[in-house]
Structure 1
Amino acid sequence: MIIVHDIFVCKPGNASKLGKKFKEGMQGNSELVNILTDMTGPFNRVIMVTKYDSLTAYEQSWEKYKENSEAMKKMAAAMEGYHDMYLTGSREIFQVW
């Protein structure tokens, strides 16, 4: 199993707003595990945690974002403006043993 952390460092005051946007926009996404906001450590972070059976499954999951389906249109509408809420980000991919 593969666990992916997409980490966003938000502008001050935007972490909870971005977390809510992700929760709404990713609703129904079977890979989504959790949306996290920091309580300790670096400030203003939102971490989206997803899980996949393999790296191949992770790579294949990106194909659905290229589709012009109703689900993708709904997600795009829910996520509108999210780029303005964060400064930078990173991705961590872990293998579960």
Structure 2
Amino acid sequence: MIVVHEIFVCKPGNASKLATLFKEVMADSPEFVNIMTDMTGDFNRVIMQSQYDNLSAYEDRFKKYIEDSEEVKKMKEKMQGYHDLYISGKREIFKVW
């Protein structure tokens, strides 16, 4: 199994807004398991956790986001302006043993 963390460092006061937005937009995506905010460590972080059977499944899902399907159009519409909520981000991909 592969676990992916999409980590966003938000502008102060925006972590809960971004977490709420992600939770709403990703509600129908079975691979997204958790939306998390920090309790220790760096401040203002939102982590979107997803899991996949393997890297190929992750790549296939990523390809779907690039397509211009109705699902992706609706997601982009809901996510419009989310870039204004965060400063930086990164992705971490883990293999679960």
State the TM-score, normalizing by the size of structure 1: 0.95
Structure 1 runs not aligned, ≥5 long: none
Report the Cα offset of residue 27 of structure 1.
Answer: 2.0
Distance in structure 2 (CA, Å) of the matches to 1:68 and 1:60 = 14
Rounded Cα–Cα distance in structure 2 between residues aligned with 1:25 and 1:51: 17
Mapped partners of 2:63, 2:92: distance in 1: 20
Q: Could you tell me how far 1:24 is from its partner in structure 2?
A: 1.3
Q: Runs of 4 or more off by more than 3 Å in structure 1? A: none
Distance 2:23 2:78 in 1: 9
Whether the 8 Å CA contact 1:5–1:91 is kept in 2: the answer is yes
Where in structure 2 are there 5+ consecutive unaligned residues? none
Once the two structures are superposed, the pairs formed by residues 1-97 of structure 1 within 5 Å of their partners are 1-97=1-97
Letter of the 1:56 counterpart: S
The alignment of Structure 1 onto Structure 2 pairs a total of residues equal to: 97
User: Structure 2 CA distance, aligned partners of 1:32 and 1:90?
Assistant: 17
Q: Per-residue deviation at 1:5?
A: 0.3
